[in-house]
């Protein structure tokens, strides 16, 4: 009891007396620990965050009817096979040929709210439609008919069985017609520009048939084998729809994402290794400086083991403090990075705290052990003489 209190007192007194030197050492250990915990947190978080960025490329899976057609319920059932926290968005599309000023145009009925999620790259001039009776025009269609945002157009639909008999004036009146407001012009640089987009309900009113979809786009935040597993799951879970991967998106994402991960891993390794060596050299310098003290203690009769114990106790206490400080600062740093780069927060990893503390104690302990050893081995007279 008495011996241990003396030990504690010696260590704390030594830390207090040489305050400025110890603050310097503590700072360097804390920086090392910050780098460790911060970078490891980022490394684990990057795949998730980057994966979310890759969803910018839009849908990576599509659902198509297994048979001739599928209903909206089939689509919802198929999408339910994918865990909802992985599903970024699910958009059903139904394509029908309608007429604007007697010329045919392909109209897509969809859920425009979720289209925003599955096709984040759609650039809309004006506003997205927010209610029935509003329409999104593809840029090519808008140019063809010289339409602008704010115009109103008539869209008509001729049922297929009547289309052949269009010469008969009696059947022409059977056409459904809806007056739409053009709220936005869609610019994608792709084939979407040749279509017009409206809410599913409007298309159902136009065609007179409800609950039908041609294809559904799914944006799933998963890649590689996990994604392939979901395709299997949909195949088992639903008979009416079959899932296919959009190879262009999935194959490319796998390549690029793995490269990015490798990049962060390597950078983390290099930075960590160099920082740890830096901490070690600082600790070595701090201990080497105290050769005289060690010599003096030996001269007045302290045993080597008690000196090693005391000095090690001191360094490891520093390591502990630095580790605790560093794991907090590291989390703050990782949080800052996440908020600035990906505008989302990261989850705290409790396991990383003990790891950071253990690593920093180990690094400080090991790096002070060698110089203490060499100091105790030297004849005290020589050390005290100052050579």
Partner 1 sequence: MFLRMIKGTLLRQWKKMLMIAFTIALGSSLATAMLGVMLDVGDKVNQELKTYGANITVVPKRASVIGDLYELEDGGTSGAYLKEDELGKIKTIFWAFNIVDYAPFLNAAATLDDGSEVTVVGTWFDHHMDLPTGEQLDAGVVSMRSWWEIESGAWLDEQAGADPDAAMVGTALAQRLGVTAGDTIHVTGSTSDRTLKVVGVYDAGGDEDDQIYVQLGTAQALDSLEGSIDSIEVSALTTPDNELAERAAKDPSSLTVSQYETWYCTAYVSSICYQIQEVITDSVASPVRQVADSEGAILEKTQLLMILITILSLIGAALGICNLVTASVMERASEIGLMKAIGAQNGAVSALVLTEILITAVIGGVAGFFAGWGFAQIIGHSVFGAAINIRPMVIPIVAVLVVLVTLIGSIPAMRMLLRLRPAEVLHGGH
Contacting partner 1 within 159-188 (CB under 8 A): 187-188
Closer residue to partner 1, CB minimum distance, 41 or 77 = 41
The two three-digit tokens of residue 269, written as one number = 């390794």
Question: What secondary structure does DSSP assign to 181-223, as a single string?
Answer: EEEEEEE-SSGGGGEEEEEHHHHHHHHS--S-BSEEEEEES--
Closer residue to partner 1, CB minimum distance, 53 or 132 = 53
Q: Which of 342, 362, 365, 384 binds partner 1 (CB under 8 A)?
A: 342
Smallest distance, Å, CB 306 to partner 1?
Answer: 24
370 binds partner 1 (CB under 8 A): no
In this structure, the strands spanning 87-100 and 215-220 are antiparallel
Q: Which parts of 270-309 interact with partner 1 (CB under 8 A)?
A: 270-271, 274-275, 277-279, 281-282, 284-286, 288-289
Closer residue to partner 1, CB minimum distance, 277 or 381 = 277
Q: Which stretch binds partner 1 (CB under 8 A): 65-73, 213-221, 265-273, 352-360?
A: 265-273
Q: Are 249 and 59 in contact (CB under 8 A)?
A: yes
193 binds partner 1 (CB under 8 A): yes
Q: Which parts of 39-68 interact with partner 1 (CB under 8 A)?
A: 39, 42, 46, 49-50, 53-54, 56-58
Smallest distance, Å, CB 26 to partner 1?
Answer: 10
Q: Are 384 and 296 in contact (CB under 8 A)?
A: yes
Closest CA to 111 of 100, 119, 103: 119
Q: Which stretch binds partner 1 (CB under 8 A): 30-38, 150-158, 217-225, 354-362?
A: 30-38
Long-range contacts of 287-292 (CB under 8 A, 24+ apart): 287/311, 287/315, 287/368, 287/371, 287/372, 287/375, 288/371, 288/375, 289/21, 290/375, 291/375, 291/378, 291/383, 292/383, 292/384, 292/386
Closest CA to 307 of 324, 290, 319: 290
Binding pattern for the stretch 239-258 against partner 1, x by CB under 8 A and - elsewhere: -----xxxxxx-xx--xx--
Q: Which stretch binds partner 1 (CB under 8 A): 113-121, 205-213, 298-306, 373-381?
A: 113-121
34 binds partner 1 (CB under 8 A): yes
């Amino acid at each position: 009891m008495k011996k241990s209190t003396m030990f504690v007192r010696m260590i704390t007194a030594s830390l207090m007396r040489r305050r400025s030197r110890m603050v310097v050492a503590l700072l360097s250990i804390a920086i090392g620990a910050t780098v460790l915990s911060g970078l490891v947190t980022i490394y684990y978080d990057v795949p998730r965050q980057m994966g979310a960025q890759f969803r910018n490329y839009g849908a990576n899976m599509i659902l198509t009817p297994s048979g001739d057609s599928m209903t909206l319920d089939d689509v919802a059932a198929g999408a339910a096979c994918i865990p909802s926290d992985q599903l970024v968005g699910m958009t059903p599309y139904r394509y029908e040929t309608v007429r604007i000023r007697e010329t045919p145009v392909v109209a897509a009925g969809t859920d425009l709210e979720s289209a925003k999620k599955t096709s984040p790259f759609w650039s809309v001039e004006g506003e997205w439609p927010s209610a029935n009776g509003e329409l999104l025009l593809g840029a090519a269609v808008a140019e063809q008919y010289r339409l602008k945002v704010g115009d109103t157009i008539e869209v008509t639909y001729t049922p297929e069985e009547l289309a052949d008999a269009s010469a008969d004036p009696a059947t022409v009146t059977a056409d459904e017609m809806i007056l739409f407001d053009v709220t936005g012009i869609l610019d994608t640089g792709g084939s979407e520009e040749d279509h017009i987009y409206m809410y599913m309900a409007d298309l159902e009113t136009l065609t007179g048939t409800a609950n039908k979809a041609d294809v559904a786009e799914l944006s799933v935040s998963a890649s590689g084998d996990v994604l392939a597993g979901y395709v299997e799951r949909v195949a088992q879970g639903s008979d009416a729809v079959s899932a296919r991967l959009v190879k262009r998106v999935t194959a490319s994402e796998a390549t690029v994402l793995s490269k990015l991960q490798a990049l962060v891993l390597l950078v983390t390794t290099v930075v960590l290794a160099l920082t740890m060596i830096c901490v070690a050299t600082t600790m070595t310098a701090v201990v080497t400086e105290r050769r005289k003290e060690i010599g003096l203690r030996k001269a007045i009769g302290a045993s080597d083991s008690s000196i090693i114990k005391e000095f090690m106790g001191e360094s490891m206490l520093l390591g502990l403090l630095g580790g605790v400080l560093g794991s907090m600062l590291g989390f703050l740093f990782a949080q800052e990075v996440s908020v600035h780069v990906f505008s989302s927060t990261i989850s705290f990893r409790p396991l990383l705290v003990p790891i950071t503390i253990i690593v920093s104690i180990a690094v400080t302990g090991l790096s002070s052990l060698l110089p203490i050893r060499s100091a105790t081995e030297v004849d005290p007279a020589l050390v005290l003489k100052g050579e």
